[in-house]
Structure 1
Amino acid sequence: MNIEVLENPAQELIDYLSKKIYDINWANWEVSERIPLAIQIKNNSGEVIAGAAARSFGDWLLLDTLWVSEELRGQDIGSNILAKIEEAGKSRGCIKCFLETLSFQAMPFYEKHGYKVQWVQEGYPKTSCQYFMVKQL
């Protein structure tokens, strides 16, 4: 047996290891699927200028990303996207939503919309914080 530390591992190895964990998780998890969900807003040129991506599984909606281009910020676009993705999650049977955000990102925005901080990882990655937030839908 040879144990190697790889400073620049091939993406193929990373994908292989992730797939192995994925397979173990799905063989032992109480839900059988995670269903992707997304919202997009495009400008007249067809360019995506705002959107969100999430996954629903069991009772949960996992909000992976919510992004609004700089020129649209402050116009309630983010609030509208959040409301629509939460509503789509509820229509799938989700009763809770989980998300992660960083101290320089949108924690106050999510608090304004009813999300509660469940856990804070301080010093992430050095001097910032990562917030894990949940909302009852």
Structure 2
Amino acid sequence: MELAITEGLAPQEETEILERLKAYNLETFGESDRRDLYIPLYDDKGAITGGLVGYTGRGWLYTSMLFVPQELRGRGLAGRMLDMAEQEARRRGCIGAYIDTMNPQARQLYLRQGYREIGSLQELAGGHAVTWLEKRFASEPASGE
């Protein structure tokens, strides 16, 4: 089989690879119970300006994106969104949450929110690093249950 490096695939080719991977994972690991979770931030005109994007699956919440616009920072919005997402994840039966970041300020926020570092990749271009963090939920039920 000949292999070649490209800088892109047709959308249907990428979809085909993803579908094959999903089928393999389903057969090998079982259902993931994946459910999306969004907490959008809107401005006064109803335009989206930031928010939290993630999903729950296999008993964990993964926050893939968390963004607060500069003019709204310092108001506790990031912490509130994380708290909301974690409470929903607990309602969905999750045992914990994980997140990754390259931003040192975000890393400090996650540590204050009870996350702990579980790994990092140092020496990225520009002297940056990426850090992975996790937070195990307490065994008591989520509020509102």
Same fold (TM over 0.5): yes
The answer for unaligned runs of 5 or more in structure 2 is 138-145
- Pick which of 61-70 and 103-112 moved more: 103-112
> How far is the alpha carbon of 1:126 from its aligned partner?
5.5
Q: Which residue of 2 aligns with 1:129?
A: 129
SS in 2 for 1:106: helix
Aligned partners of 1:116, 1:17: CA distance in 2, in Å?
A: 34
Runs of 4+ in 1 over 6 A off after TM superposition: none
> How far is the alpha carbon of 1:36 from its aligned partner?
0.7
Aligned partners of 2:108, 2:38: CA distance in 1, in Å?
A: 22
Write the letter of the residue equivalent to 1:73.
Answer: R
> How far is the alpha carbon of 1:9 from its aligned partner?
3.3
> How far is the alpha carbon of 1:31 from its aligned partner?
3.5
Q: Which residue of 2 aligns with 1:41?
A: 41
Distance verdict in 2 for CA 1:58–1:32, change over 3 Å:
closer
SS in 2 for 1:23: helix
Correspondence 1:19-98 to 2 at 5 A: 19-98=19-98
Q: Which residue of 1 aligns with 2:18?
A: 18
> How far is the alpha carbon of 1:18 from its aligned partner?
2.5
> How far is the alpha carbon of 1:99 from its aligned partner?
0.8
Q: What is the RMSD computed on CA atoms of the aligned residues?
A: 1.9
The superposition leaves residues 62-119 of structure 1 with CA deviations (integer Å, 9 ceiling, x where unpaired) of: 1111111111011111111111111111111112001111145611110011100001
> How far is the alpha carbon of 1:30 from its aligned partner?
3.8
Q: Which residue of 1 aligns with 2:143?
A: none
Q: If the length of structure 1 is used for normalisation, what is the TM-score?
A: 0.87
Write the letter of the residue equivalent to 1:20.
Answer: R
Write the letter of the residue equivalent to 1:92.
Answer: R
Aligned partners of 1:13, 1:38: CA distance in 2, in Å?
A: 28
SS in 1 for 2:108: helix
Write the letter of the residue equivalent to 1:119.
Answer: G
The answer for unaligned runs of 5 or more in structure 1 is none
SS in 1 for 2:63: strand
Write the letter of the residue equivalent to 1:48.
Answer: I
Q: Which residue of 1 aligns with 2:111?
A: 111
Question: Identity of counterpart residues, as a percentage?
Answer: 23
Write the letter of the residue equivalent to 2:89.
Answer: G
Aligned partners of 2:11, 2:32: CA distance in 1, in Å?
A: 27
